[in-house]
A = this chain, B = another copy of it.
Amino acid sequence: MAKKPKFKITPIGGLGEIGKNMTLFEQGGQGFIIDCGIMFPANDMHGVDYIIPDYRWLEERNDIKLHGILFTHGHEDHIGAVQHVVQSFPDVPLYATPLTTGLLKVKLKNARLLDKVIINTFDAGDRIEVGPFNLESFHVCHSIPDCVGYGIHTPHGMVVHTGDYKFDNTPVHGRKTDYAKLASFAERGVTLLMADSTNSDKTGWTQSEAVIDGALDRVFRNAKGRIMIATFASLISRVQQVVYAAKKHKRKVCITGYTMSEYSKIARKLGYLDVDDDMLVDIGRAQTLPPHKVVFMVTGSQGEPSAVLGKLASGRHRQLDVRETDTIILSSHPIPGNEEMVYRTINRLIQRGADVIYDPIESVHVSGHARQEEMRLMLNLTQPKHLLPVHGEVRHLHLHAKLAVDNGIPRDNIVVIENGTTIEIDQKGIHVGERQPGGYVFVDGSGVGDVGPAVIRDREILARDGFMIVSVNIDQHTGKLIEEPRIVSRGFVYLRDAEDFLDQIRDNVTTLLHNNRSANGNRRIMVEDSLSKMIYSETKRRPMIFSIINEV
């Protein structure tokens, strides 16, 4: 009997981080990808707009034919890099559920790539053939409708990829996580479960989205004036919940911000957002309504200064302002790293007189990810032989592994790996294989990957202490200074208050060059060294220092 080929899985992103999810599946030279998302930069990744998975090695592989790029759901950390991937892998069709397709189309249209791509739309629960591969999609609950996971048939048993999930028994859109399909996978034999680890440090169950209805109802009942609710543009189910609350409390809904408006339109068109025509008003009409008759949906719940809520907080919104009678709800949790900006926004809104409601003041947000008991349920439903924890920082992956051991999976059957590491499945089990680069590709402006650690380090130094450039013209024959040194400096000292200090610097350079006017040494380095020492001793700061010596 011929040996069956190995089935290989390479997480390209999503391990050791929450963001930029992307995984390659392959067997015998055929392959497909699940998800291609972005990650938002940490506070010390200066100037980076976003980060995409490092799949450059895959572009260079000629031994593999890609048959499809499949998506689990429409969040940025799963679809955000689509415009990069379709340019890197032209002619590879996309596969997604209807809402995810709608959101992909918005992104591809903005990138002027929509006519270059084939998108195959399927319904959650459908079987899909992707080249030689057979997959069974299954519906999962998360914080956006139309999410799926995939059961992947391999010669060595099924591989189940959960996508982002929670077991919400009372989801806003009614459709539950597909318990039956997951159980049926178990019957057929799951060799490997790849499962969401985001909340593995949290005990118990994630609350149902239904708890938010109660909180919204209380807030709507008490609000005397306008209500403004900030959440993620893609949180369609939250928009739905607000619409229902508004209907009950006889308020009209005004959806503001480009992305939230676009996403809501798509969701409505595809039947994922149930709202009567006469419930929706534009911002102009909303302004004419009595305050207690309107609710605004806004973006900026992560404290982004350029989003609607950020502009309201700093008084920079062109059409809206914050009034003393406004009730403002932040229906979100700060993503780690954003806490400072979120609380700053809240403080400013309160300073403008608004009543600001956020968790823990009211339960106005719940996570979209499974907690520990749900993770156990997933293990018990699918009964996998092996586990690959995905979607989480290192600490989440390790805690997920620990939980699985407690739940009866042998430690040796659990693989905690890093991005770029291939795992191979064959008759005997699972093995950790080769390692490809799995790091960050920074997108900065129109540049993809041209800004690397060296540039970021320079930005870090500039951010801390700024720079100073001294330019001098000296006579090439006599070595004498022709005119006073010129100084350009930013981010170091406030120049207008530092004239004495600048004089001191000019004197230092002038004296140094005068004393060394016949020196053969490198004047540039001499000037820079001398200035560095003098400046550190005077200020205890280390700006970048450059000199330009023109011998004329």
Interface residues as binary, A200-212 with B (CB distance below 8 Å gives 1, 0 otherwise):
0111000000000
A522, CB-defined interface residue at 8 Å: no
Contact A361 B201 (CB under 8 A): yes
Instruction: Tell me which residues from 439 to 494 in chain A have a Cβ below 8 Å from any Cβ of chain B.
Output: 444-447, 450-452, 454-455, 458-467, 469, 471, 473, 482, 486, 488, 490-494
Contact B493 A451 (CB under 8 A): yes
Interface residues as binary, A519-552 with B (CB distance below 8 Å gives 1, 0 otherwise):
0000000000000000000111100101010101
Q: Which of A140-148, A181-189, A265-273, A390-398 contacts B (4 or more CB under 8 A)?
A: A390-398
A497, CB-defined interface residue at 8 Å: yes
Contact A494 B450 (CB under 8 A): yes
Smallest Cβ-Cβ distance to A475: which chain B residue: B552
Expressed in whole angstroms, the Cα–Cα distance for A497 and B448 within the complex equals: 13
Contact B395 A340 (CB under 8 A): no
Expressed in whole angstroms, the Cα–Cα distance for A350 and B471 within the complex equals: 49
Expressed in whole angstroms, the Cα–Cα distance for A182 and B222 within the complex equals: 36
Which of the residues B348, B451, B494 comes within 8 Å of A452, measured between beta carbons? B494
A258, CB-defined interface residue at 8 Å: no
Contact A541 B471 (CB under 8 A): no
Which of the residues B201, B350, B454 comes within 8 Å of A494, measured between beta carbons? B454
A321, CB-defined interface residue at 8 Å: no
Expressed in whole angstroms, the Cα–Cα distance for A393 and B350 within the complex equals: 10
Nearest-CB distance from A548 to chain B (Å)? 5
Which of the residues B395, B462, B482 comes within 8 Å of A466, measured between beta carbons? B462
Which of the residues B444, B460, B498 comes within 8 Å of A463, measured between beta carbons? B460
Instruction: Tell me which residues from 406 to 451 in chain A have a Cβ below 8 Å from any Cβ of chain B.
Output: 444-447, 450-451
Contact A462 B447 (CB under 8 A): no
A351, CB-defined interface residue at 8 Å: yes
Expressed in whole angstroms, the Cα–Cα distance for A33 and B459 within the complex equals: 41
Smallest Cβ-Cβ distance to A394: which chain B residue: B347
Which of the residues B43, B450, B462, B473 comes within 8 Å of A459, measured between beta carbons? B462
Contact B486 A455 (CB under 8 A): no
Which B residues are in CB contact (< 8 Å) with A498?
A: 450
Contact B450 A497 (CB under 8 A): yes
Q: In the complex where A360-B202, A491-B455, A550-B471 touch, is A337 in contact with B336 (Cβ < 8 A)?
A: no
Interface of A is mostly: mixed
A157, CB-defined interface residue at 8 Å: no
Nearest-CB distance from A434 to chain B (Å)? 19
Which of the residues B336, B399, B491 comes within 8 Å of A343, measured between beta carbons? B336
Expressed in whole angstroms, the Cα–Cα distance for A337 and B336 within the complex equals: 9
Nearest-CB distance from A483 to chain B (Å)? 9
Contact A488 B458 (CB under 8 A): no
Expressed in whole angstroms, the Cα–Cα distance for A42 and B348 within the complex equals: 16
Contact A467 B462 (CB under 8 A): yes
A47, CB-defined interface residue at 8 Å: yes
A312, CB-defined interface residue at 8 Å: no
A93, CB-defined interface residue at 8 Å: no
Which B residues are in CB contact (< 8 Å) with A395?
A: 343, 346-347, 350, 356
Which of the residues B42, B44, B336, B544 comes within 8 Å of A490, measured between beta carbons? B544
Which B residues are in CB contact (< 8 Å) with A497?
A: 450
Expressed in whole angstroms, the Cα–Cα distance for A395 and B339 within the complex equals: 14
Contact B451 A459 (CB under 8 A): no
Contact B459 A464 (CB under 8 A): yes
Which B residues are in CB contact (< 8 Å) with A454?
A: 494
Contact B494 A455 (CB under 8 A): yes
Expressed in whole angstroms, the Cα–Cα distance for A486 and B550 within the complex equals: 10
A5, CB-defined interface residue at 8 Å: no
Q: In the complex where A540-B446, A541-B447 touch, is A467 in contact with B490 (Cβ < 8 A)?
A: yes
Instruction: Tell me which residues from 294 to 330 in chain A have a Cβ below 8 Å from any Cβ of chain B.
Output: none
Contact A492 B340 (CB under 8 A): no
Which B residues are in CB contact (< 8 Å) with A339?
A: 336-337, 339
Which B residues are in CB contact (< 8 Å) with A203?
A: 360
**Can you show 27 pairs from A to B with CB atoms below 8 A apart?**
A16-B347, A42-B340, A44-B340, A46-B463, A46-B464, A47-B541, A202-B360, A203-B360, A336-B340, A337-B340, A347-B394, A347-B395, A350-B398, A445-B539, A445-B541, A446-B538, A455-B491, A459-B464, A459-B491, A462-B463, A463-B463, A467-B467, A467-B490, A469-B548, A473-B552, A486-B548, A488-B546
Which 8 pairs across A and B sit closest by C-beta, in order of nearness?
A: A445-B540, A463-B463, A462-B462, A347-B394, A47-B464, A459-B491, A337-B340, A46-B463
